[in-house]
Amino acid sequence: MDITSLAIAWLVTSVSFFIISKLPLGVEIDSFEKAMISAAVFGLLNALVRPLFLLFTFPAVLITFGLFMIAINAAIFGLAAWLVEGFRLRWGIWSALLGAMALGFINSLLYQMLGPLLRFR
């Protein structure tokens, strides 16, 4: 992954975090700057912590045919909220679950909209 792709992914995730904070899901982010920090922390946690979670929860992921990945995403989302000041989950794990699912959905939509623009690089 080159630096341009990494910057685009960070920006898309930042915009997604900011959009999620405006939806009634119990996710509160104070500003777009906090959303950018949250996206960076979330990305780092995905790169560093997700492999450990997968290693220890592989049987649960296998038995549920991958649905347990939603719980792993929610845990990483909640951990990011715990680490970043200005990023709060009003309803605890429920906000983390809703926020993680919304993040995947909104990221997918944004990448679908950006797809034609990114192909001409």
Q: Residue 57: what pLDDT?
A: 95
pTM value is 0.91
Answer whether residue 4 shows pLDDT above 90.
no
pLDDT score recorded for residue 116: 77
Q: What is the pLDDT of residue 69?
A: 95
SS (H, E, C) the chain: CCHHHHHHHHHHHHHHHHHHHHCCCCEEECCHHHHHHHHHHHHHHHHHCHHHHHHHHHHHHHHCCCCHHHHHHHHHHHHHHHHCCCEEECCCHHHHHHHHHHHHHHHHHHHHHHHHHHCCC
pLDDT for residue 2: 86
Quick: pLDDT tens for 20-46.
999 999 999 999 999 999 999 999 999
* 115 has a pLDDT exceeding 90: no
